[in-house]
Amino acid sequence: MTKSSPPLQCAHPPSRVFQRDRLRQAVPARRPGALPVFLAFFALVVGCAGAKVAVPIQFPTPLVEKVPLPIGLYLDEALLSYKHEESLEQRGDWEIELGSAQPSMFANLLTGMFIGYRRVQQLEGSHPDVAGVLFPSIEEVQFSTPEQSRSDYYEVWLHYRFKLHDNRGAALGAWDLTAYGKAHKQNHGGDASALQQAAMSACRDAMAFFTQQFTTVPVVQAWLAKELGAAA
């Protein structure tokens, strides 16, 4: 996805030589091309800055009809510490830290979707106070800058995988979810601000898709039928 940006070309007229009549002495002209070289070097230094951002903890709670079951949530260390790091040619080092936002994101999501929710510390063993346990993970993150995509947007793609376990720890199945977020470069003061907004938008997009698609996933449908049928 990464594309090299074209080299900066900067044309600037050579400095004039001013005559000082009194002393009849010319002030030496600047060496032709010195200013363009300096500007190109400055642009290269600025361009190599990259950005390091963390997703803010600003997530809505879905306003939907709740699933009439309590759910458990297991977040492992891989997710809680997840960060995407990438070096772009002539654009420096970039980092999107996603892990610290995941507890808040899933707490709000599951609070809005289920009649009860709690974190569990392990997948194994019995959890009789919940009907099942959700185990999310981030499988892949991609992003692009306006220079790469030749557009006005910073863009972020997230690939989540969700595993569902019953309340005795048995794995029931898994499904994938992809999400997308973008931010217009003119609405932000720099790389970091725009990339952060795009990453947060991608997380919110994941929440929206999860809410819409959850009850259409085959493994979830089978689980709901069993749990709600047993409760009837």
Q: What digits encode the pLDDT tens for the residues 59-97? A: 999 999 999 999 999 999 999 999 999 998 877 899 999
pLDDT at 215 > cutoff 80: yes
pLDDT band (50, 70, 90) for residue 16 = very low
Element (H, E) at 67: strand 67-73
pLDDT at 47 over 90: no
Count of structural domains within the chain:
2
What pLDDT, on a 0 to 100 scale, did the predictor assign at position 126?
94
Better pLDDT: 26 or 119: 119
Please indicate, yes or no, whether residues 12 and 89 belong to a single structural domain of this protein: no
Whether 20 has a pLDDT exceeding 80, the answer reads no
* C-beta separation of 180 from 41 below 8 A: no
The answer on 227 and 134 residing in a single domain is: yes
Question: Model-level pTM?
Answer: 0.77
Residue 55 and residue 42 share a domain: no
Q: Which residues neighbour 100 within 8 Å (Cβ) at sequence distance 6 or greater?
A: 54, 55, 57, 80
**How many Cα neighbours within 13 Å face the side chain of 52?**
2
Tell me: pLDDT of 214 over 80: yes
Mean pLDDT of 14-23: 32
- For residues 94 and 87, is the Cβ–Cβ distance under 8 A? yes
Domain identity same for 125 and 142 = yes
pLDDT at 4 over 60: no
Same domain, 8 and 109: no
Is residue 43's pLDDT more than 90?
no
Q: Are residues 18 and 74 in the same domain?
A: no
Report the CATH number that the domain containing residue 128 is assigned in CATH.
3.30.160.150
Q: Which long-range contacts (CB under 8 A, 24 or more apart) does 144-152 make?
A: 144/1, 145/88, 145/91, 145/191, 145/195, 146/185, 147/3, 147/5, 147/91, 148/1, 148/2, 148/3, 148/88, 152/184, 152/185, 152/186
- Whole-number average pLDDT of the chain: 83
Domain extent for 37: 1-47
Q: Please, which residues bridge with residue 73 across strands?
A: 119, 134
